[in-house]
Structures are given as C-alpha cells and as structure tokens.
Amino acid sequence: MYNNNPTLTGNKEIDEKKQGEVFFQQKGSDKPNQKKFYIESYGCQMNFSDSEIVASILNEINYAPTRNMEESDLILINTCSIREKAEDTVRKRLRIFDKVKENRPGTLVGVLGCMAERLKEKFLEEERLVDMVVGPDAYRDIPTLIANAEDGEKGVNVFLSREETYADISPLRLGTNGITAFISIMRGCDNMCSFCVVPFTRGRERSRNAFSIVAEATDLFQKGYREVTLLGQNVDSYKWKNPESEETVNFANLIEMVAKVSPDLRIRFSTSHPKDITDEVLHTMASHENICKYIHLPVQSGNSRVLKLMNRTYDREWYKERVQSIYNIMPDCAISSDIITGFCTETEEEHQDTLSMIEYANYSMSYMFFYSERPGTLAARKYTDDIPLETKKRRLNEVIRLQNQISFKNNQADIGKTFKVLIEGDSKKSDKEFKGRNSQNKMIVFSKKDGLQPGDYVQVKVFEATSATLKGQLV
Ligand code: 5AD
Ligand code: SF4
C-alpha cells in the first residue's frame, strides 16, 4: 500500500492535532541535553513502520521526536522509490530542509529508505546539504553516522543484510492513535516483478522471529492497542524456523499465534501475493473472528500476457481461482487491489481485461497507478516503455472511474447491515462523531454516545454510503 502524503504517522487517517498531542505525551522532551529529531515518511506502510524503528534507535541516544522541523537538530526523510513521482516529492522536500539548515547551522539532514538505497553515494553529490544516507537495513548505524556528521564527516551506509529484521527493537510509536499499530514481520522481497524497484532497495526476503512478533503484539494489547497490521512485501511467504525445535512457522501458523493473544485484538495483514496465498491461510482467517475479513491482493493487470511480462508468475485464471476461493471460504471477505495501467506493450484489449477483472473480483477499493519506468528494474532493461503518457493516463482514468463505481455499489450493498466496529477516534469532520472500521476495513462514521471511547467495539448499522465511507448508527 502506498501513501504519497507526508505524515509523522503510519496511519493516514489520524488528524494532525491528535498526532502532536500523543507525540509529546509519549516521551518527555525535558531530559537534560536532549536533542530533537524531525522525521517525515513517504511510501508504503513498511516505511512508516521503519520510521518507528529509527525513532526507537534515536531515543536510545537521547533524541526526542518533534513535529516542528525548525527546532530540530536532526531532520530525517524516509523515502520511497516506487515511482518517479515519489522521488520528485522527496527532492522538493529536501529544498525545504536546506532552508531550515541555512537558518539553523548545525542541523543535520539524513536521507533514509529506498531512495537512499537506490542512489547511494550519488545522493551526496546530487544533494550537497545531505549529511547522511542510510539504507533500510542500516538503521542501527545511525548513531555512528550522526557522531561522524557532527564532526563534519558525511556518511553513507546502504549495506543490505540477509539477516536484519530489527526483531529486538521495540518501535517508538509515532503519532499513534493508541488503538491501531503496524508490526513488521519480514523484510525485503524475492519476487522480481519486472516493474518493481523494491528487490533492489530492500534486498532479500527474510522473516522475523515469530515469538518476537507475538511478544510485540502482546505488549501492544497490554498498552491498550486493539488492532495490529502484520506487514511484509509478501506476507504469504513468511517462513521462520525455530532454531530450538526445528519447527517451521508459516504465515497461517503466525496469524493464528497472533490471533490467540486475545480475542479482543484484531489482526490485519498486508500485502498478500496471489501466487502464494494458500487455502490454509483462508481457513485460518475463517476460523478466527478476530482475524479481519479483508485481503489486499494486488492483481497489477487482468491480462495473462501482461502478467507474464510483469513476471508476476500467475495468470488471469489463477487469480480468478484465488478470488473464488476467498469468497467460497469467507463469503463476507473484502478484497482490494493494486493496478498498473500502460505497462510496456499493453494493448487496448489487454487493458479491457484489467477492467473486467475489477468487476469480477468486486474490489472494495484499489490503489491505481500508471506505469513509471524505474532504472535498474527488469522491465527497464528488457522492454521499451512504449505506451504514450496520455494513453497511460486515459487508461488509468478508466480504471479509477470503474473502481469508484464498483466501490459505490459494493458500499451501497452494506446499507441495512450491522457491523462490529472498532472505534479509532473522532471522525475527521466532527468531534460529535466517532470513526472506526469494520472487519472488511471499511471506515464507518457514526454519532457518539456517552461512555464509549476509542478502543471499544460497538455494533453499528449502516444507513448511508458513498464510494469512500459508510455512515451508520449505534445499535
Ligand atoms: N510503476 C507504477 N506502479 C508501480 N508499482 C510498483 N512499481 C511500479 C511502477 N514502476 C505499484 C504496484 C505495487 C504498488 C505498491 O505500486 O501496483 O503493488
Ligand atoms: Fe515501500 Fe516500495 Fe516505496 Fe520502498 S519503494 S518505500 S518498499 S513502496
């Protein structure tokens, strides 16, 4: 999943004011000699989750988070390389940081994440005011890089590890609503989709110790959190071997272990890969009420030839069969998708196959993009990016229009139904309303009642629906 808006939090939905409040409650900023860091995150949820690991590492060396970059000693930007636009946004932000640095000499600027990994030393040549460049597997080195930068020595660490999972680091939750949190369960990706830069920026796939995941979930539950989202580029290939018992924990086993932390702790996960999602996972989901009935299952394209070029290793029929299996095993499950339009050599007919797949799968929502060639990827090396930009955009608009219609129809069908909702906080529009999600990950807004608070589960009956939100009332 992808987010192009900078926030200090892993959750796009939290309003700005709230973030700040929780932020400062979390860690006192009045310790002697305490310094301040400011961090912005772009890209996928994994990146937001990584920023919380970085925050924890910084906390250990007496840095406290601030929401005001003007007063910070260290400005960090956790970057994304997935599309050219994401990188353009980061460069624009760096211009702003340069100004802060001019007004406040001594402030250090660090570039983290995927763009750091992609550009490495080149970053320091291109962006003169950057002091450190740190790839996704090198965050433990940040204290050393800071110390060197304080001595005027710029540093780069973009070493990609085969083992690093940060399993022992307890993330410092940034801008949290105190109810929902992300847990990173694996890192990297071995899939080599031809359009994707991730295998190059995040390295080889590795799974985190299952017990450390359960321990993190338990700790969050004890602190009042009621929902965890297990994160990985391809969660269905999660595999961890217990060195003591030699037993292997697969993804179905893992979600079951986390589900058993408490029936009041909801489990979500992202992202599932159509080639790897098993019926075992689906049956495990079905047999635990607290594992949410929602699967993000990116199709990318609905056409078998294009899927082959994309190196997705499944075809249209395979994907349809997986969708059928999901709906057979969990008739109330929602499915969402990622879609790319205008991939190399895609014809109009092949584009139509993507449209018909949106209808077939009846996606509750999708993240939709036009193809953006990324240097170094398989597609950049092997194929010509030959679809004109206007065509890519026109196809994208067709995909968006259809998805909106399907989402609207899908949401209209929820009118009259009653859902169990986890209250996350005030709605965006009014402090007289709460918002929360149902199991299917749909946001429902409803009027408050005395005695209820975020973290409570309530039954809400839907009476109104747009393509984006549901409105309901407590029952
Ligand atoms: N161009 C456009 N979209 C891309 N994605 C990944 N790489 C590219 C690219 N080069 C999309 C895919 C992926 C999502 C995170 O971003 O749909 O699932
Ligand atoms: Fe996440 Fe991929 Fe962007 Fe890296 S390039 S931040 S893995 S979406």
Which class for 114: exposed (0-12), middle (13-18), buried (19 or more C-beta within 10 A)? buried
Structural domains for the chain: 16-157 (3.40.50.12160), 180-412 (3.80.30.20), 418-474 (2.40.50.140)
3-state secondary structure of 458: strand
Ligand in nearest proximity to the CA of 373: 1
Best of 83, 117, 195, 201 to mutate for ligand 2, by most ligand atoms within 8 A of CB?
A: 201
pLDDT at 3 over 60: no
Nearest CA owner, ligand 2 atom 7: 198
Centroid of ligand 1 to alpha carbon of 355 (angstroms): 17
Ligand 1 close to Cβ of residue 312 (< 6 A):
no
pLDDT at 14 over 50: no
User: Is the separation of the CB atoms in 395 and 370 below 8 Å?
Assistant: yes
Centroid of ligand 2 to alpha carbon of 214 (angstroms): 25
Which class for 280: exposed (0-12), middle (13-18), buried (19 or more C-beta within 10 A)? middle
User: Is the separation of the CB atoms in 27 and 173 below 8 Å?
Assistant: no
- Taking the CA atoms of residue 59, residue 63, residue 66 and residue 70 in that order, the dihedral angle to the nearest 10 degrees is -160
Query: Position 293: which residue type?
Result: K
Confidence of residue 128 (pLDDT cuts 50, 70, 90): confident
Ligand 1 close to Cβ of residue 196 (< 6 A):
yes
Q: What is residue 20's predicted lDDT score, i.e. its pLDDT?
A: 23
Centroid of ligand 2 to alpha carbon of 114 (angstroms): 6
Could you tell me which residues are beta bridge partners of residue 460? 419, 474
Q: What is residue 30's predicted lDDT score, i.e. its pLDDT?
A: 58
Candidate from 6-20, 214-228, 460-474 with smallest mean pLDDT: 6-20
Place of tokens 């060639």: 373
Q: What is residue 32's predicted lDDT score, i.e. its pLDDT?
A: 72
CA–CA dist 31, 124 (Å, integer):
33
User: Is the separation of the CB atoms in 390 and 433 below 8 Å?
Assistant: no
Centroid of ligand 2 to alpha carbon of 413 (angstroms): 34
pLDDT at 5 over 70: no
3-state secondary structure of 61: coil
pLDDT in tens, 44-103: 999 999 999 999 999 999 999 999 999 999 999 999 999 999 999 999 999 999 999 999
Distance of CA 50 to the CA centre of its chain: 10
- Taking the CA atoms of residue 136, residue 297, residue 213 and residue 227 in that order, the dihedral angle to the nearest 10 degrees is 110
Average model confidence (pLDDT) across the chain: 93
H/E element holding 35? strand 35-43
Ligand 1 close to Cβ of residue 83 (< 6 A):
yes
**CA 338 to ligand 1: nearest atom:** 17
Query: Position 283: which residue type?
Result: H
Read off φ and ψ for residue 441, nearest 5 degrees. 75, 20
| Structure tokens given for 7 | 């926030």
Q: What one-character DSSP code corresponds to residue 263?
A: T
Phi-psi sector, 113: left (phi>0), alpha (psi -120 to 50), beta: left
Selection from 54, 184, 37, 71 nearest residue 116 by Cα: 54
pLDDT in tens, 418-464: 999 999 999 999 999 999 999 999 999 999 999 999 999 999 999 99
CA–CA dist 435, 423 (Å, integer):
6
Candidate from 1-15, 136-150, 306-320 with smallest mean pLDDT: 1-15
Candidate from 2-11, 49-58, 174-183, 269-278 with smallest mean pLDDT: 2-11
Query: In 218-355, which ranges are E strands?
Result: 227-231, 239-241, 248-250, 266-270, 294-296, 334-341
Read off φ and ψ for residue 420, nearest 5 degrees. -80, 125
Q: What is residue 404's predicted lDDT score, i.e. its pLDDT?
A: 97
Selection from 133, 78, 76 nearest residue 107 by Cα: 76
CA–CA dist 86, 92 (Å, integer):
10
Which class for 210: exposed (0-12), middle (13-18), buried (19 or more C-beta within 10 A)? buried
Read off φ and ψ for residue 186, nearest 5 degrees. -160, 165
When pLDDT is averaged across residues 178-206 and rounded to a whole number, the result is 96
3-state secondary structure of 10: coil
Ligand in nearest proximity to the CA of 296: 1
